[in-house]
Chains A and B, each alone.
Chain A
Amino acid sequence: MSHSIMGYIAVMSIVTILIRILPLTLIRRQIKNRFLRSFLYYVPYVTLAVMTFPAITEATQIPAAGTAALVIGIALAWIGASLFKVSAACCLTVFAVEALLL
């Protein structure tokens, strides 16, 4: 069986799209179950936190830069800085730390 690049792209795209749209199209109502609602309420925070750390320390050339960006980002988000400011401050922190240490 020969596999073409377009065939590969079709397979991965169909799987990915189905994963995303099935829950959205099948779950049309508000979920009543209290545990399930609570679970879904907490999911985003856990998922995003898990994906942020330690990945942020591995994304940069040196772990210290990513760690500093994490700390600065949390501090700015805590005091209510905008999305753009938090994101930009993280980038600048990495840039500064790497310029100093590399």
Chain B
Amino acid sequence: MTVSQNHAEPLPTTRRSVFVEGMHDGLPIALGYFVVSFTLGIAARNAGLSPFEGFLASLLNNASAGEYAGFTVIAAGGTYIELAILTLIANARYMLMSCVVSQRFAPGTSIWHRLFVGFDVTDEIFGLTIARPGLLNPYYNYGVMAVAMPGWSVGTLCGVVAGNLLPLVATSALSVALYGMFIWVIIPPAKQDHMVAALIAVSFAASWLAANLPVVADISSGTRTIILTLVLAGLGAWLKPVADEPELADSQPLADETATGYPDDGLDAEQGDAPAPTLYPATTLSETERYDLNHDNYRGGDF
């Protein structure tokens, strides 16, 4: 794929607007994070962490179940090995998510973008990332991270400091904000793709069963999520593989572009270039082109 290198136009503006868009979308996440990590801070406090240590743990880990599991090991005075294994199990789903995200990067994206975006692949930020059609724009993720990470780490800090201060009514209501976001991510694509709709319904049912069946319910929720994901996504891939050729893509839009596209920078797609091979049907040439324009480190012809 050949790439025109001489579109040097409004880079800062576009990057900034993509970044701001990310911050905007990240606000509900930051809010939900603050509440959830506030309760996490209480667990950290019980494990003997100082406010700064709680802050640091959350800033570096950005993981709810993983951190909670970690704090229980710390509270019990467990070994480093034990802590490492438990963290690995509780957070293993992020490995799957990162595999998915790896396919959204333009080939040739610098290692730094991969590292920084990868650093904060959380359930929620992953949800936002895949809701965008086409290639991933790291600056969008950075925008989300700019509000979500303080929300998470400062929330933990406040939880350690203040303990049980937030009224229960508020905690209860705000705790569903993150689930609202998951719903917002998965439902619109289900309207167009019946396999996605079927998988969501089956996932709900299977997840409920797994949480209530005698033996299975004893498995940690993180592990249950991994097992169900492997089985059900595998089933979907076996029953209805995605289109092999990127050209077939347009018949199967992933998400409503008008609702989720990047801010329009007024640049039209150039005809003639082959579309980038992509896993995600909704990738449009113009999206790819815009991405190219926004990333000076892009090297074409890698595949």
Contacts and interface: CB of A to CB of B under 8 A. Distances in A.
Q: Is the interface of A mostly helix, strand, loop or mixed?
A: helix
A90 B179 contact: yes
Given A3-B80, A46-B199, A84-B28, A29 B107 contact: yes
A5 B179 contact: no
B100 A44 contact: yes
B196 to A, nearest CB: 5
Contacts of A93: 176
B96 A43 contact: yes
Given A9-B60, A28-B107, A20 B119 contact: yes
Interface residues of B, number: 111
Contacts of B190: 45
Looking at A11, A13, A17, A19, the one whose CB has the most chain B CB atoms below 10 A away is A19
Contact of B180 (A20, A25, A60, A86): A86
Given A12-B70, A43-B233, A47-B93, A25 B208 contact: no
Contacts of B303: 29-30
B118 to A, nearest CB: 4
A23 B98 contact: yes
B146 interface: no
Interface residues of A, number: 76
B18 to A, nearest CB: 16
B261 interface: no
A20 B53 CA distance: 22
Given A7-B80, A27-B103, A53-B208, A12 B87 contact: yes
B182 interface: yes
B270 interface: no
B179 A24 contact: no
A44 B175 CA distance: 21
B211 interface: yes
Looking at A28, A89, A92, the one whose CB has the most chain B CB atoms below 10 A away is A28
A19 to B, nearest CB: 5
Given A34-B242, A50-B206, A70-B183, A16 B97 contact: no
Nearest to A73: B183
A60 B261 CA distance: 33
Looking at B32, B94, B240, the one whose CB has the most chain A CB atoms below 10 A away is B94
B201 to A, nearest CB: 8
B98 A50 contact: no
Nearest 8 interchain pairs by C-beta: A90-B180, A38-B237, A49-B203, A77-B187, A87-B180, A13-B60, A23-B98, A21-B118
21 contacts: A8-B80, A12-B66, A12-B67, A13-B60, A16-B60, A16-B87, A21-B118, A22-B98, A24-B98, A39-B234, A39-B236, A40-B233, A42-B237, A43-B100, A48-B186, A49-B182, A78-B191, A87-B32, A87-B184, A88-B177, A89-B180
